[in-house]
Amino acid sequence: MADVVQVAPADDPVRPLFSPAGELTAEARATLGLSPDALRDLYHKMVWIRRTDQEALNLQRQGELGLWGPYQGQEAIHVGTVAALRETDWIFPSYREFGMGMCRGIDPAEMLKLFRGVSHGPWDPRTYHFAPLVIPVASQVPHGVGFAMGSRFKHSDDVVLSTFGDGATSKGDWHEAMNFAGVFQAPVIFLCQNNHWAISVPLAKQTAGSIAERAQGYGFPGIRIDGNDVLGIFAAIRTAAERARRGGGPYLIEAMTYRMGPHTTSDDPTRYRTNVELERWSAKDPIPRFRQWLEGQGLLDEAALAAINREVEAKVETMRNRLRATTAPAPGEAIFGRVYQHPSDSFLEEREEFESSLESN
């Protein structure tokens, strides 16, 4: 019995859109079919999520948040990805995809409850098709694959976007999930946000090989692209999603980007990396890049820029005020409220005892 080994899947509609260096070709860029308003909206969203990121950092420094994990530098991925998907497609994020959640319509002041320590998950994933932020690295990847398998079982054309960082590719769960996806032909797009750093460990110490090319070993295509080009992200995700919708199976996109800030507010990146590197990546900052492109296309003038900034400032101020007015649920509800749908008597007794111990004197 002869085993058939499929080395390079023939069906790869993404690769033709990109140069060998992972840049979206001029031709592909010209045929995206996005209206001027849609293009300006991508820019608007990138500015909004960056400003929100900065404000969250301020709020942490002011004692309003316990911790914050900035995503500065990765906005093109956050915005481009959500724009390329249908609302009914599910996103299974890691922990840094705050901007994606905002683009999916979740109120940032609500999401910040996570970092304010009042909730482990302040939104219902079923409302936004956006799974909870997950902290144990790579452990969310099999969840997305399971959902995608379910989509196939139900003959639905909803696809799944499963995202993770470069560090996640070292974990067993990542491999297990990639393998399941290949075996079950699950409609899932794996999006590796390769931001070059897993806290203090650089890419070179994380893995000795290419991440994108590993896809072939699981029986589906993969590509490494420029992760700081919002249109490149948009094109790759949309095309891979269409392929998955048609029953083409999984796709792995490795988006090269850079975490410009610290891992979290508890981190000090000056201990492990140089300013030279940061400056090099600042030159590829996705926001000024896209602004220049839009200006070059005649799609963005001073007045439009000012209007965007005004609108973003107003949204950020609203978020700040709403966050500071956050009320915390009562301790009994916060601790015991969502553990079991059918709790046992002894569980309820423990809650009751706890709550009565809190009665004020």
Partner 1 sequence: MEPVTMAKAINLSLRDALANDDSVLIFGEDVGTLGGVFRITDGLQKTFGPERVFDTPLAESAIIGICIGLVLRGFKPVPEIQFDGFIYPAFDQIVSHVAKYRNRTGVSMPITIRVPFGGHIGAVEHHSESPEAYFAHTAGLKVVAPATPGDAYALLQSAIADPDPVIFFEPKARYYLKEEIDTAREVPIGRARIAREGTGVTVVAYGPTVSIALDAAKAAEKENISLEIIDLRSLSPLDMPTILESLRKTHRAIVVHEAPVFGGFGGEIAARIADDGFDLLEAPIERIGGMDAPYPPARYEKLYLPDVDRILEAADVALAYG
Partner 2 sequence: MADQTFRLPDLGEGLTEAQLVAWRVEEGARVEINAPLCDVETAKAVVVIPSPYAGTIHKLHARPGESVAVGAPLVTIAAQETPTTVEPEDPAPRTLVGYGPGAPEAGVRRRARVAPVATGEPGADVRAAPFVRQLAKEKGVDLARVTGTGPGGRITKADVEAATSAPAATSAPAATPATPATNGERRISVVGIRKAIARQMVRSVSTIPQFTEFAIFDASALMAAREKQKAGGRSLTPLPYFIQAMVKAVRAYPLMNSSWDESRDEIVVKQPINVGIAVNTSQGLLVPVLRGADQLDLHEIADRGAKLIEGARAGTLGPGEMSGGTITVTNVGASGPVETGTPIISPPECCVVAFGAIKPRPMVVDGQVVARPGAWISISVDHRIVDGALATEFLTALVAELEKVSA
Among 54, 139, 170, 309, binds partner 1 (CB under 8 A): 139
**Residue 91 within binding range of partner 1, rule CB under 8 A:** no
Site track for partner 1 across 322-361, x = CB under 8 A: ----------------xxxxx-xxxx--------------
3-state secondary structure the chain: CCCCCCCCCCCCCCHHHECCCCCECHHHHHCCCCCHHHHHHHHHHHHHHHHHHHHHHHHHHCCCCCCCCCCCCCHHHHHHHHHHCCCCCEEECCCCCHHHHHHCCCCHHHHCHHHHCCCCCCCCHHHHCECCCCCCCCCCHHHHHHHHHHHHHCCCCCCEEEEEECHHHHCHHHHHHHHHHHHHCCCEEEEEEECCEECCEEHHHHCCCCCHHHHHHHCCCEEEEECCCHHHHHHHHHHHHHHHHCCCCCEEEEEECCCCCCCCCCCCHHHCCCHHHHHHHHCCCHHHHHHHHHHHCCCCCHHHHHHHHHHHHHHHHHHHHHHHCCCCCCHHHHHHCCCCCCCCHHHHHHHHHHHHHCCCC
Closest by CA to 212, choosing from 250, 160, 176, is 250
Nearer Cβ to partner 1 (311/333): 333
Among 157, 213, 267, 277, binds partner 2 (CB under 8 A): 267
Catalytic annotation, pick one of 263, 291, 320, 351? 263
Among 280, 310, 324, 338, binds partner 2 (CB under 8 A): 324
Does the annotation mark 272 as catalytic?
Answer: yes
Among 38, 67, 307, 334, binds partner 2 (CB under 8 A): 67
Q: How many residues bind partner 1 (CB under 8 A)?
A: 43
**Residue 72 within binding range of partner 1, rule CB under 8 A:** no
From partner 1, partner 2, none, interface partner of 328 (C-beta below 5 to 8 A by class): partner 2
Q: How many residues bind partner 2 (CB under 8 A)?
A: 35
**Residue 136 within binding range of partner 1, rule CB under 8 A:** yes
Catalytic annotation, pick one of 40, 50, 104, 259? 259
Give residue 141's Cα distance to chain centre: 12
Among 183, 306, 307, 330, binds partner 1 (CB under 8 A): 183
Does the annotation mark 342 as catalytic?
Answer: no
From partner 2, partner 1, none, interface partner of 19 (C-beta below 5 to 8 A by class): none
Does the annotation mark 218 as catalytic?
Answer: no
Q: Pick the piece of the chain touching partner 2 (CB under 8 A) from 76-84, 238-246, 294-302, 324-332.
A: 324-332
**Residue 327 within binding range of partner 2, rule CB under 8 A:** yes
From partner 1, partner 2, none, interface partner of 61 (C-beta below 5 to 8 A by class): partner 2
Catalytic residue set: 259, 263, 272
List residues near partner 2 by CB under 8 A: 55, 58, 60-67, 116-118, 262, 265-268, 270, 317, 320-321, 324-328, 353, 355-361
